Amino acid sequence: MGTSKVLKKDEWLKVIEDLRKGYKVFVPTKEGDFHFFREYKDGIRPDLNFSNTRLSPKGLIYPQSERMFECPLSKDQEGAFILKESPKDFGPQLVVGIRPCDAYGFLIVKRNFDNPQYRDPWWVRRYESTTFVGLGCNEPCPTCFCNAAAGGPFGEEGLDLLMWDLGDEYLIKPITEKGSNLLAKVEGKEAQDGEIKEAESLKKESQKKMDFSFDITPLKNKAQLELFNEPYWEDVAFSCINCGTCTYLCPTCWCFDIQDEVYKNHCDRIRNWDSCMFPLFTLHGSGHNPREKKFQRVRQRFMHKLKYYVDKYGNGIQCSGCGRCVRYCPVNIDIRNVIGLMCG
């Protein structure tokens, strides 16, 4: 996939700035105490000196709220009551500074939105038009467990380019053809042996800092009903307040709602992120609710990520180990403990 290049940090940031001519570029920027991915417009300062963004970047491919269809609602208008796709921009996007866990997260989500039977046209087109430039993690957070859940702090899966922070410089490694083509156009010196060795040792050092690991075999081998009927779910859910923070922040929670909004004589069909933590998520028209109780909803979230997904796709768990749900859960529910229980 071509050779890695090394650029001074300010040179590389200049390259990114110039790439705005061909791409809609997204960069992490600091707002208040936290970092967020924002479109790199004038006035936005990219800041790659961060642990991770507070929200996952899933919204760049899969917006929190997006128009699907629209139509007029008065009989005298042409096309009344016949829904048509809302216009959307699928121009090339470039996401710079995405962490390997979050890029891997998109691959997990892809199995849902792009499967042999159905393809979600919006997710697929936006994903395919996006180039991901990852930033490896020299300093993982105490809540990170990407080494166990995904490809680790310098994992390459899901990325087109991967950046190493070498202090004053970035080493940039091409991963895919898309990334390689982009890097080929960038002026910079080829990475030397010394720099490559330094990058390798940063990766090893970072991996050593993460101490959570687990073996997925028990999740595969135990029957769905066995795990479902375990006595610990009420305990796991005891402190949960069903706030939905975990699902909102999670790069791999993909559930959504569809709602029609009407303004004057115009209808928009809109899809919004939804959460399995909310009782309305499964409430039937009759009033019956298959997941009426809080613990049933908490169990659903973990069973989906750690059992149903595992069974359905045979490709690991539905979690990239980013640790956001652990960090921001207001009542300290830790998915790593739940993995421990389920594997025990």
* Site residues (vs another protein, CB under 8 A): 68-69, 71, 73, 80-83, 85, 112-113, 115, 117-121, 124-125, 223-225, 228, 254-260, 262, 267, 269, 274, 276, 281-286, 290-291, 296, 300, 303-304, 307-309, 311-312
Q: With helix as H, strand as E and coil as C, how does the chain read? A: CCCCEEEEHHHHHHHHHHHHHCCEEEEEEEECCEEEEEECCCCCCCCCCCCCCCCCHHHHCCCCEEEEEEEECCCCCCCCCCCEECCCCCCCEEEEEECHHHHHHHHHHHHHHECCCCECHHHHHHHHCEEEEEECCCCCCCCCCHHHHCCCCCCCCCCCEEEEECCCEEEEEECCHHHHHHHHCCCCEECCHHHHHHHHHHHHHHHHCCCCCCCCHHHHHCCHHHHHCCCCHHHHHCCCCCCCHHHHHCCCCCCEEEEEEEECCEEEEEEEECCCCCHHHHCCCCCCCCCCCHHHHHHHHHHHHHHHHHHHHCCCCCCCCCCHHHHHCCCCCCHHHHHHHHHC
Minimum distance from residue 214 beta carbon to another protein (Å): 20
Q: How far is the CB of 217 from another protein (least distance, A)?
A: 18
The residue (of 15 and 276) whose beta carbon lies closer to another protein is 276
Shortest Å distance, C-beta 298 to another protein: 13
